[in-house]
A = this chain, B = another copy of it.
Amino acid sequence: MADTDELLSIRAAELYYEENKTQDEIGTVLRLTRWKVGRLLAQAKASGFIRIEIVHPRARRLSIERRLREKTGLTDAIVVSSAGVTGDEELQSRTAQAAADYLAALRPVPRTLGISWGRTLHEVSLHVAQGWATGVNVVQINGGVSLNRRAGTAAATAVTIAHKGSGAATLLPSPAILEHLETKNAIEADRSVAAVLNLGATASAYLFSAGQADQNSALVDSGYLTAEQIAELVRKGAVGDVVGRYIDSTGNIVDPELDSRTVGIQLEQLRHAKTAVAVIAGSSKHAIARAVVGSGLCTVLVTDEETALAVLGDDS
């Protein structure tokens, strides 16, 4: 009986969804009343036999967003669908697009926006809509200019976002990590750097990404850290970095000594920010995404479907 009903509900679903017949017509075909058909259809939906997917680069997964808001303390969550996606490349592009859209729709429009840098943020900057704000002040919140050609993109990211928002970019003229603590203290004390750091601390919103702890990290690429140093950090429990600071799965700094030589905003400042938007996408960033959300480093998470599910713990 239950078996017959299941089969019937599938037949009904075929006629309803694939042939666009009305429940009444289906009733005639299957010799059922239209109410029975309605109930079978409801049953098919409830049993999960009907899968509705929105296949579009800019499609979002609202149900996952809701669950994220409810289960974590996030103010907001943006989850892009990964239906029909081919690789991590596209996933990150979609997520960057979504982050750019979110930034443009953010209310109140931030007067001062603190941003980090990296491949993700750079892509976000490319997608930000022209005229997303009027007179915004974009401030870098972690060091990274110079050192090699990659650094150019860090500045470009800030400048592009600022320009598209009819504003100005304030760059942080400092390396991300210094070799000696004294140098770091000295550079932070320098007026030009201190001023930028102070401005960053007062930003009305933050937009940043996170890096996974492996040899593909942007910090390795940029020459700030070696693959060996990363391996050592991983041994100590590091899952990734936020604004250049490596954290473990609970959100704590992994290596205080290294951290003391890192120039930029403190994680506590991010934790206390009213609006901190984290953009994290890709299968390699599940762990760091979890750590960021779990330790309250952001109030808003922009991510992809799989990463969101990992944060929710649905991948077990």
Contact = CB atoms under 8 A, between A and B. Distances in A.
A186 interface: no
B60 A54 contact: no
Nearest to A6: B56
Contact of A60 (B14, B44, B48): B14
Q: Is the interface of A mostly helix, strand, loop or mixed?
A: mixed
Nearest to A14: B62
Given A6-B56, A51-B52, A52-B53, 13 more contacts: A10-B56, A10-B59, A13-B59, A14-B54, A14-B62, A17-B52, A18-B62, A44-B54, A49-B56, A50-B54, A51-B54, A51-B55, A52-B52
A106 interface: no
A61 B18 contact: yes
B54 A17 contact: yes
Given A18-B61, A62-B18, A53 B56 contact: no
Interface of A: 6-7, 10, 13-15, 17-19, 44, 48-56, 58-63, 83
Nearest to A48: B55
B10 A54 contact: yes
A61 B53 CA distance: 17
Q: Please tell me how many copies of the chain the complex holds.
A: 2
A30 to B, nearest CB: 13
A48 B53 CA distance: 10
Nearest to A83: B51
A10 B19 CA distance: 23
A59 B49 contact: yes
Given A14-B59, A62-B18, A50 B52 contact: yes
A42 to B, nearest CB: 12
Contacts of A61: 18
Contact of A7 (B19, B55, B58, B62): B58
